[in-house]
Amino acid sequence: MSSLEISNLRKSYGSVEVLKDINLSAESGEFVALVGPSGCGKSTLLSIIAGLESITSGEVRIEDKLVNDEAPKDRDIAMVFQSYALYPTMTVRENMTFGMECRNVPKAEQAEAIDRVAELLQIEHLLDRKPGQLSGGQRQRVAMGRALVRDPKLFLFDEPLSNLDAKLRIEMRTEIKKLHKNVGKTMVYVTHDQIEAMTLATRIAVMHKGVLQQYDTPNAIYETPANLFVAGFMGSPNMNFLSGRVVSTGGKASVRLDGTGITLPLDGVRCGVPADGQEVILGVRPEHFSPAHEQRAERKGRVSISVPVTIDMEEPTGAETILMTHIGGQEAVIVCEPDEAPRPGETMEFAIDMAKASLFDPRSEARL
């Protein structure tokens, strides 16, 4: 078990700075997901942890040991790649023992490690096959097995599920979660899929344009996003952003939505005290709308307010229906149960659970 500490890390290619003052730490046994859109710097950061990329400035420490100048082989890490990186002419057993052979690990120890890991990953029946005879999910298990036999301090995963189909990705997500629970080692996992990050990680680092936007638990990032980017990136469908202006009446603040006569009280919103007349963006997740006649939010003791919503389009997904709507002139998305969904063209009253809403500054994009 080991910890990871990254301090004031910067990485530049010539005049282009791709990582900007990154600070994050992982406790021993944590599962940290690095998530963000393509080009945000997450894979570069993983490569720096692995020792495959140099740093411009800052520090990387593994188990309190500075490893800036250490070669990858001396960092005691194991990496699982997106492409599996298996030797096609070797059997599964030979692929898994190759690294141990290079380090002159005794044959008895190799056999013991193979037996232990093969049983853990349920690939005992695949040991004598070659990669070309395996499915994508089986190859990924072998790639993980090759990392596990090393028993390293850190496991690094570089988008390991992106080559798999949707059903297999869900299955492998479960396998990786079980694996982390069983081995108890620190894992750093790169993905562009925010669902993977939410379901797997104990903490998530959300990155954008080389900047660490927020580093927190999945629940904290989802419920209290630090800024507009995090709020929009985490969650599917995306959070709704409704622009408006703060109005104060009798000492109580509300948001009057632009282009409408709709005023929403801010009593239940977890935010600072905005100034009267201040421009704001109200963030509401699609699942925090509910048909007004049911008044679910009130039954839970939360503050809610009803607004008229016009339905433009619907997307049935089976368990739920996604509604493309507009509130006044502003587009919004609502998720509701199929038997509650109004038809396109209809207008219906929906209650907004204001206790779950967020408020952002449109200029700085930061949470208020």
- Answer yes or no: is pLDDT of 163 > 50: yes
Mean pLDDT over residues 160-182, rounded?
A: 84
Q: In sequence order, what are the beta bridge partners of 31?
A: 187
**Local confidence band at 119 (pLDDT 50, 70, 90 cut-offs):** confident
Least confident of 44-48, 94-98, 159-163: 159-163
SS (H, E, C) 176-232: HHHHHHHHCCEEEEEECCHHHHHHHCCEEEEEECCEEEEEECHHHHHHCCCEHHHHH
pLDDT value of residue 295: 53
What's the mean pLDDT in 292-314?
A: 70
286 three-class SS:
helix
What per-residue confidence (pLDDT) applies to 297? 42
Q: Between residues 42 and 250, which one has the greater pLDDT?
A: 42
What is the pLDDT confidence band of residue 323, given thresholds at 50, 70 and 90? Answer: very high
- The mean pLDDT of 95-120, rounded to a whole number, is 86
Residues of the chain above pLDDT 90, percent: 51
pLDDT at residue 81 in the model: 82
Top CATH class, 4-233: alpha beta
Question: Could you give the residue range(s) of every CATH 2.40.50.140 domain in the chain?
Answer: 240-360
Q: How high is the mean pLDDT of the chain? A: 89
**Is the separation of the CB atoms in 3 and 27 below 8 Å?**
yes
- Is residue 147 predicted with pLDDT exceeding 60? yes
Q: Where in the chain is the domain with CATH 3.40.50.300?
A: 4-233
Do 195 and 40 contact (CB within 8 A), yes or no? Answer: no
Neighbour tally for 187: CB within 10 Å: 24
Whole-number percent of the chain with pLDDT over 70: 96
Q: Give residue 234's pLDDT.
A: 95
Identity of the highest mean pLDDT range in 140-144, 181-185, 229-233:
229-233
Q: pLDDT band for 168, please (50, 70, 90 cuts).
A: confident
CB 213 within 8 A of CB 42: no
> Residue 129's pLDDT is what?
93
Q: Which helix (H) or strand (E) holds 146?
A: helix 136-148
Two tokens at 265?
A: 């009280």
Higher pLDDT, 304 or 242: 242
State pLDDT tens for residues 286-296.
999 988 866 54
CATH of range 240-360; options 3.40.50.180, 2.40.50.140, 3.10.310.10, 3.40.50.2000: 2.40.50.140
Residue 89: other Cβ atoms inside 10 A: 10
51-60, 99-108, 187-196, 200-209: least confident range: 99-108
Is the pLDDT at 8 greater than 80, yes or no?
yes
Say whether pLDDT at 321 is over 50.
yes
Between the two ends of the chain, the Cα-to-Cα distance in Å is: 38
